[in-house]
Amino acid sequence: MTQPSITPWKTTYRQLLDSVGPHAPALRNSLAGLAAAAVLQGLALACIVPLFVALLSRHDGAAALAWLAAMSLLALLATGCRWLGQGFDYTGRMADATHRLRTRLGEQLRRMPLERIQDKRAGEFNAMLLGSVDENLNYTLTILNLILAALLTPLATALALACWDWRLGLGLLLVFPAIVPLYRWRRPAFGRGMRKLAEANARTSADVLEYTQGLPVLRAACQAGDKAQRLQQSFADLERLQTIGHRKGARPNIVITSVVELGLLLLLAAGVSWVAAGSLDPAILAASFVIVVRFGEPLATFVLYTAILELIESALERIQALLAVAPLPVLDAAAPPNTHDIEFDRVSFRYAQAERSALEDFSARLPARSLTALVGPSGSGKTTVTRLLLRHADPQQGGIRIGGVELRAMPAEQLNRLISVVFQDVYLFDDTVLANIRMARPDASDAQVEAAARAACCLDFIERLPQGWQTRLGDIGGRLSGGERQRISIARALLKEAPIVILDEPTAALDSESEVAVQRAIDALVRERTVIVIAHRLSTIVGADQILVLDDGRLVEHGRHAELLENEGRYRRLWEAQARVKDWHAGRYGMA
């Protein structure tokens, strides 16, 4: 997006046809209908010329009647063609096409590498795209109709007019299509202006969000409202850029229109001269007047809607880009693994757009049914290890194997069946409690769901909910505590009965009382499984079979708790720091 690129209209047309899928032939027909309507309308208008000539110059009533009839017929045909063309919208084809497109995009989101949709901004972007597909496409036909009417109608009229007076016809042919090169010449600048404005809007949007998020702090510091200088400055900057953008961007559009209008005026003035000189029938000139003033309005409308055309173009481009993301490849599918030991073999990974590797030459073996803890400061690569195991992305170097089978050789569903995850942030869906747990295994019986819920210490609070198992979680919103939500997510993980369990700081955000219950639930979950845990509180993992200490993407130490303490290295320093903290208490004399 650094270069102000213009998509050729042909590309846009192809993308449009591609976006409507099986409706493409119908859309092509519909566009042909609209184009035919525009041409027929131009021809109908041109009939005014012979009509006036018949009435005014020749006083030929029969001919006048014939031309009037011809004009009416052409107008009727134009209406008919347009009627059929608009049918694409009105018979629900467009609605169906956008529906299919959204379903396709949704499926694509489920297929593409998770890494590509993980980052929050990308998530919002996708949500926006999915949400607004129809908003952009629903206008397509209306806009195209306007554009065709603005361009083809004058063209057809001009050609017909040339039969009576080649000078007027040629003049019209020269003046009118001039809008296209003019418009395309202005477009890069127009695009630049739009982009600058979009950037300014994005900045203000970010500043506004910062303001509302930081409002407690700003208010506590007495810096809210008019005193939030950065915010007020941002508003002022945006207005300034909008004003400049308007001068540079929107006004040239009007100038383009007026160039054409002025051209028409000049042409008519020339016509008057030709009549004055006796080389042009005044009836033809009068008819030209009536015709040419008709063109002003479609032209103005066309310019008004070009902005929407840009929106449609960029939406189409983004849709194509999203659809073009390839899913992670699956090599020749091997047999599913029998054992569930995990091996990281010299794995290096760098996130897209990151400057440094998130994981560098990382090797580890996690025996089946063992407990492995990942320890290290934030940003050291712990989460990356789990994400690679879940195959959110493939490492650039090295390989990961479960039970000896390469992740790349496992179809996505097979891999997903092997692993359960309990995240720090719990995501519950706007559905019943029952459905939220059962989603892990749709064919589970009620008894199995209940057993999972019992093991995860959920039964007591689920039974207290207004509609018990059938309570919709969206309706009760924040009424569940963090611990209760976490326990539902653990019940879900339990029900799945996956042989590998990943725990990503599941108790970090909980208070002690909730924590005890969640801990009990976790005890049930990890029994007899291969477990990977990310933990800040080192005391929870002293019993681990293996502790991997990460720093800056590298494995710096590994071993059991006691061994690592002996080592007097990184882990020991972490342990001691934590012990010191445990002994701190707030007293009158500060640190005790």
Partner 1 sequence: MPHTDLPTPPAASPWRIMDPVRGQIRLAMALAVLAAMAGLVAMGLLALAVQQLLEHPGDWPWQAGAGVLACTVLAYLLRLTAFDQSHYAAFRLETLLRQQLSRHLAQVPMGYVESVGAAALAKVIHDDVKALHVFVADSTPLYARAYVTPVLTLVALLWLDWRLALGALAVLLVGFGVLSLAMRNRQEMVRRYNAAREQVSAAVVEFVQAMPVVRTFDSGQATFGRYQQALEAYRAMLSEWYREAGFPARFSMALLNPLPTLLVLLWLGAWLNWHAQLGFATWLAVLLVGTGMAEAMMPAMSLSHMVDKVKLSIARIGQVLATPVLPAPARPGQRPADTSIEFEGVSFRYTADADEALSEVSFRVPPGSITALVGPSGAGKSTVARLIPRFWDVAAGSIRIGGVDLRDLDNDELLRHVAFVFQDTFLFADSIAANIRLGVPEADMAAVVAAARAAQAHDFISALPEGYETLAGERGAFLSGGQRQRITIARAILQNRPILVLDEATAFADPENEAALIAALSELMRGKTVIMVAHRLNTIRDADQILVFDRGRLAESGRHQALVDAGGVYGRLWRSYETARHWALDPAGRHVAVDHEESGKTP
| Residues in region 361-390 near partner 1 by CB under 8 A | 369-371, 373, 377-379, 390
Q: Is 110 in the site for partner 1 (CB under 8 A)?
A: yes
- Which residue from 3, 181, 222, 353 is in contact with partner 1, where contact means CB under 8 A? 222
**What's the min distance (Å) between Cβ of 217 and partner 1?**
5
Strands of 453-580, DSSP E: 500-504, 530-534, 546-551, 554-559
Q: Is 22 in the site for partner 1 (CB under 8 A)?
A: no
Using DSSP's 3-state secondary structure scheme, residue 347 falls into strand
CB 305 within 8 A of CB 146: yes
- Which residue from 117, 366, 410, 457 is in contact with partner 1, where contact means CB under 8 A? 117
Give the per-residue contact string, 507-536, with partner 1 (x = CB under 8 A; - = no): xxxxxxxxxx--x--xx--xxxx-x-x-xx
Give Cβ neighbours of residue 8 (< 8 Å, ≥ 6 apart).
none
Rounded Cα gap, residues 169 and 379, in angstroms: 71
**Segment 302-341, which members bind partner 1 (CB under 8 A)?**
304
- Which residue from 134, 341, 360, 552 is in contact with partner 1, where contact means CB under 8 A? 134
Q: Is 400 in the site for partner 1 (CB under 8 A)?
A: no
CB closer to partner 1 out of 91 and 363: 91
CB closer to partner 1 out of 6 and 286: 286
Rounded Cα gap, residues 28 and 441, in angstroms: 45
Size of the site for partner 1 (CB under 8 A): 183
Q: Which of 491, 496, 490 is nearest to 450 (CA)?
A: 491
Q: Which of 144, 152, 159, 146 is nearest to 177 (CA)?
A: 152
Q: Is 185 in the site for partner 1 (CB under 8 A)?
A: no
**What's the min distance (Å) between Cβ of 562 and partner 1?**
8
Using DSSP's 3-state secondary structure scheme, residue 148 falls into helix
**What's the min distance (Å) between Cβ of 532 and partner 1?**
11
Q: Is 70 in the site for partner 1 (CB under 8 A)?
A: no
- Which residue from 32, 163, 174, 221 is in contact with partner 1, where contact means CB under 8 A? 221
CB closer to partner 1 out of 8 and 83: 83
Structure tokens at 385: 């290890």
Give the per-residue contact string, 441-460, with partner 1 (x = CB under 8 A; - = no): -x------------------
CB closer to partner 1 out of 158 and 495: 495
> Angle at which helices 120-137 and 282-324 pack, to 10 degrees?
150
CA angle 65, 70, 74 (to 5 degrees): 150
**What's the min distance (Å) between Cβ of 170 and partner 1?**
22
Rounded Cα gap, residues 430 and 75, in angstroms: 54
**What's the min distance (Å) between Cβ of 473 and partner 1?**
11
**Segment 227-246, which members bind partner 1 (CB under 8 A)?**
228, 230-232, 235-236, 238-239, 242-243, 246
Q: Which of 175-183, 321-329, 397-405, 577-585 is the region at the interface with partner 1 (rule: CB under 8 A)?
A: 577-585
CA angle 126, 132, 138 (to 5 degrees): 145
**What's the min distance (Å) between Cβ of 28 and partner 1?**
20
Question: Token pair 């919002």 is at which residue?
Answer: 124
Rounded Cα gap, residues 432 and 475, in angstroms: 9
Q: Is 353 in the site for partner 1 (CB under 8 A)?
A: no
**What's the min distance (Å) between Cβ of 36 and partner 1?**
15
Give the per-residue contact string, 35-54, with partner 1 (x = CB under 8 A; - = no): ------x--xx--x--x---
CB 557 within 8 A of CB 571: yes
Q: Which residues of 401-424 are buried (b: 16+ CB within 10 A; e: fewer)?
A: bbbebebbbbeeebbebbbbbbeb
